[in-house]
Amino acid sequence: GNSVTQMEGPVTLSEEAFLTINCTYTATGYPSLFWYVQYPGEGLQLLLKATKADDKGSNKGFEATYRKETTSFHLEKGSVQVSDSAVYFCALRNNNAGNMLTFGGGTRLMVKP
Amino acid sequence: EAGVAQSPRYKIIEKRQSVAFWCNPISGHATLYWYQQILGQGPKLLIQFQNNGVVDDSQLPKDRFSAERLKGVDSTLKIQPAKLEDSAVYLCASSQRQGPSYEQYFGPGTRLTVT
């Protein structure tokens, strides 16, 4: 079956530090990969996605590259801001199984000024 | 464009009581999802509707959970009777259609505490 594993948090960084949140997956077939972000008191929002191997998703300074050989989709940002403090979820969707999303456990990021 | 609406935002009940949650998807979205997010875990799909029909309810505990989307628009999720382990955030999401090309949009969730 499908599963997503991401690094446990919380991750605490100072403003302008480099961010990496690791995500690895297990899936049948060729899934699409996603990063969602959940700001305090708000719903999940799609941050970025990649639909095939070697694709790079990017948005708001965040990037993640679909690595089929290592079954990974690590999230990176070169310089974090206090406003990036949130919980980040890695997820996959098996393109042969409708629209069902499988999520990782989430990683809380705290950025200090 | 209005997002996915959910109510209530918070609910506290005692075990063995009943509770219902309501979701109004984005206008025109045919597909609606209910997820359960237990503290410290990622969301888990409970049920997926396409219009007023159930597409997938394989992870819905049917002995106590039920959901309906009678007119193919808004939806209710009910728990009867509640157990302590049902304490979680219940997320509703919608997408324009079913299929990999269509993004899911999430509501703010209902936080349920069962005491």
pLDDT in tens, B58-72: 999 999 999 999 888
Q: By the CB < 8 Å criterion, does B106 face chain A?
A: yes
Mean pLDDT value across chain A = 93
Q: By the CB < 8 Å criterion, does A7 face chain B?
A: no
* Number of Cβ within a 10 Å radius of residue B57: 17
The model's confidence at residue A47, banded by pLDDT at 50, 70 and 90, is very high
Under a CB-based contact definition with an 8 Å cutoff, are residues B44 and B36 in contact? Answer: yes
Q: By the CB < 8 Å criterion, does A113 face chain B?
A: no
What is the C-alpha R_g of chain A?
13
Asked if pLDDT for residue A8 goes beyond 90, the answer is no
Distance of CA B14 to the CA centre of its chain: 20
Position A96 scores a pLDDT of 65
Under a CB-based contact definition with an 8 Å cutoff, are residues A110 and A12 in contact? Answer: yes
Which amino acid, one-letter code, is at A87? Answer: V
Q: By the CB < 8 Å criterion, does B96 face chain A?
A: no
* Number of Cβ within a 10 Å radius of residue B115: 10
Cross-chain residue pair A99–B107, CB shorter than 8 Å = no
Residue of B nearest to A106 (CA): B42
Q: What is the pLDDT of residues B4-51, one digit of tens each?
A: 999 999 999 999 999 999 999 999 999 999 999 998 889 999 999 999
Q: Which residues contact B53 (CB under 8 A, 6 or more apart)?
A: none
Q: Which residue, A5, A38, A99, A108, is CA-closest to B111?
A: A38
Q: What is the pLDDT of residues A22-36, one digit of tens each?
A: 999 999 878 999 999
Q: By the CB < 8 Å criterion, does B8 face chain A?
A: no
Q: Which residue, B23, B68, B24, B22, is CA-closest to B47?
A: B68
Q: How far apart are CA B84 and CA B17, in angstroms?
A: 11
Phi-psi sector, A80: left (phi>0), alpha (psi -120 to 50), beta = beta
**B residues 52-71 lying closer than 8 A (beta carbon) to A:** 55-56
Pairing of strands A107-112, A86-93: antiparallel
